Structure 1
């Protein structure tokens, strides 16, 4: 198998790798050995770009691959770029929250729960990204403050708030839901934008 990293053919031996994940880990370790500030950002296998949920490639026997092309980037730049994308996407969640209230007011609790589930998925992706970022860049969220609270605490409050929102939908409690959506979750969106700004500033200063 030919492995190319940033346009350069490597001499990596992946013969002992029994899965694609092992191959990718070998490549990632190779990249870090060269420069621990770089991160794999793009993977193409035999001309096919790898996506997060591409189970066909991940389940295939590595010996069937002919060529893997890897692109890397500075880990800090990659993190900042991702945080800016999150910032841009957060206001859209506000619209989703409004749709939840409208569905419940129309008596369509099923639709409200479906929209809420979709919104929760997006929220959890954001929190998971922040968790992964903390590990990758060794950032201590307990020491970073937003609105006089730690980033850790802010994210815990968000998860608790999402649970309260689900309970309000299931109970058809329009009064509670209205308060949660209009005041609590709206301010949380603003707070997550501030968290992104704090992290961007923190990473840029490294």
Structure 2
């Protein structure tokens, strides 16, 4: 399934994360989603070079293969998802036809993939004014971080709501690179 993802992100310090968690979530009743993300690239780093992310996300026993490609529009990605049965990605042929077509546009037709590693994210999600508020605590192999995501339906209106949320909680704007980039920057 292909979709356009519009989201705004902001890095948080631990105290801001706790403040938002306590304000928006009743942690005694709301259970987090535990995600294990394993990232993949070609042996020549073709995906990373083109700012493309390829991962298998495991939640409980469910595995979803996702290809994220940057869109020409700011704060948007083209995202292709497919539920899969395999645990790891090794061959180009494991991708669905839509994923293969997108990668071929970048002249990527690698025969094999390698694992870059895994991260664990503890995620809280809440619908807020028909948008999705997400708080992530991510554990990388050698560090951890905190992030606010706001998935929206319309860019301009979503940006206004996101900035209002940051202002309401006195949180400064901090660039949030994609998790795969943060992961790679700390390898």
TM-score by length of 1: 0.22
**More strand by proportion, 1 or 2?**
2
State which structure, 1 or 2, has the greater radius of gyration over its C-alpha atoms. Answer: 1
**More helix by proportion, 1 or 2?**
1
TM-score by length of 2: 0.23
